[in-house]
Structure 1
């Protein structure tokens, strides 16, 4: 089978207000125990490999098998961390061992009167047969922010 070689670019911004202090939202990313409690797909995925190194130059890995479905792999490198202000990563995704995308992701934490304004901005490039997957990435990111909100509640 011949694979059509093509690229597609996709970007999105998601903003949520969480009714807890910045430090609480920050810790959900910076503390491994807390991040494991909400990160991922919950009951829909069987966790496989996990690595966590929250520092500039550190790498995170999250791999899991969807029940009756694909094997998903996420590998991120932290490129900038400013405590309680921002986290910047570059990350790659694979689906069933096929490299599907590379992204740059920024997360900003802003104190507001009601708690924390959380802003996630992402720019990705999607490869070959995954060229149209940008809307699914945004949907998946919305799901992660929903899981974070439930965890913080």
Structure 2
């Protein structure tokens, strides 16, 4: 039998964008805009108690299922959600994520904090943090493009 274990971890990713908190919040709350930097959602119900879900993965590879429930939403300030991530039929993690938006002169500071339980070595906090940094960079590129439009 394979050894089963849980690795607990918290990581924080911070980014500063030249967009307003309203524009950054829209990038999280509007499914059309969010699909331009995150995966396209199969389910998107952005309200407290609402769900967001998507499935995808590399061609011929495993299918990853993201299933989130929004726990707290304060427009232009805070989004808190819990989510599970499955690889095919295997649950690989459960997390609580807080996205804070802090208004700055000429922009927004985004603070992304994830507290996760990572199961049986299928995923690691380091891999998740790396992927999150790439997502926050993709969000920044989108906000830059929209600012130039």
Please say whether Structure 1 and Structure 2 have the same fold, judged by a TM-score greater than 0.5: yes
Question: Could you tell me whether the CA contact under 8 Å between 1:90 and 1:102 is conserved in 2?
Answer: yes
Structure 1 equivalent of residue 147 of structure 2: none
Structure 1 equivalent of residue 143 of structure 2: 152
Question: Could you tell me whether the CA contact under 8 Å between 1:4 and 1:129 is conserved in 2?
Answer: no
Which has the larger share of strand?
Answer: 1
CA distance in 2, matches of 1:84, 1:32: 16
- CA displacement 1:6-63 (0-9 Å, x = unmatched): 11101100110001111010000111111111113xxxxxx7x711010000000011
Are 2:107 and 1:108 equivalent residues in the alignment?
Answer: no
CA distance in 1, matches of 2:46, 2:69: 9
Q: Structure 2: 5+ residue runs without aligned partners?
A: 145-149
Are 2:125 and 1:134 equivalent residues in the alignment?
Answer: yes
CA RMSD of superposed structures (Å): 1.4
Structure 1 equivalent of residue 70 of structure 2: 78
**Aligned-pair CA distance for 1:5:** 1.5
TM-score (norm 1): 0.89
- CA displacement 1:50-107 (0-9 Å, x = unmatched): 1101000000001102124221111000000001110000000011221000000000
Question: Which structure 1 residue ranges, 4+ long, deviate > 4 Å from structure 2?
Answer: none
CA distance in 1, matches of 2:80, 2:57: 26
Structure 2 equivalent of residue 99 of structure 1: 91
